[in-house]
Amino acid sequence: MESYTIRDLRNRTGDLIRGAESGHLSIVTKHGQPVFVAVPFDEALLKSGVQRSLAAHLYAEKHLTLVQAAKLAGISASEMLDELASRDIAVVDYNKDELADELDGLE
């Protein structure tokens, strides 16, 4: 496994990418402490559930809608709701005013 510092990323990004394309894991460190791991994006990774994890994370960060997250994860919207619940990710995220408006609309 290759190790890169944050500073290396500026000068050796191409090496990091080529390593990943070749199937090699790399670790990136900051002040000697691991920050993240660069993992080749391949079928084995997909089968390990990374699609669901990525979809849930992007949904939680409000980068994807529920339907978009479900498509990325390769599951139905209903299954995505279950996945989000299992990760304690709120599906409904109203602030106080939005919730009051929504409740007013129900009356």
Whether 34 maps to a domain, the answer reads: yes
> 31 and 75, same structural domain?
no
Whether 43 maps to a domain, the answer reads: no
Answer yes or no: are the C-beta atoms of 9 and 28 closer than 8 Å: yes
> 52 and 87, same structural domain?
yes
Enter the pTM of the model.
0.59
Output phi, psi for 70, to 5 deg: -60, -45
Here the tokens at position 85 are 């619940």
The pLDDT of residue 93 is 76
Here the tokens at position 98 are 């939005």
Q: Which domain range does residue 55 map to?
A: 48-107
Per-residue pLDDT for the chain (107 aa), expressed as one digit of tens each?
A: 789 999 998 899 999 999 888 888 899 999 999 998 888 877 777 777 888 988 998 899 888 999 999 999 999 999 999 999 999 998 887 778 877 887 887 77
Q: Tell me, what DSSP letter sits at residue 80?
A: H
| Cα–Cα distance, 56 to 18 (Å, whole number) | 28
> 64 and 33, same structural domain?
no
| Cα–Cα distance, 92 to 106 (Å, whole number) | 16
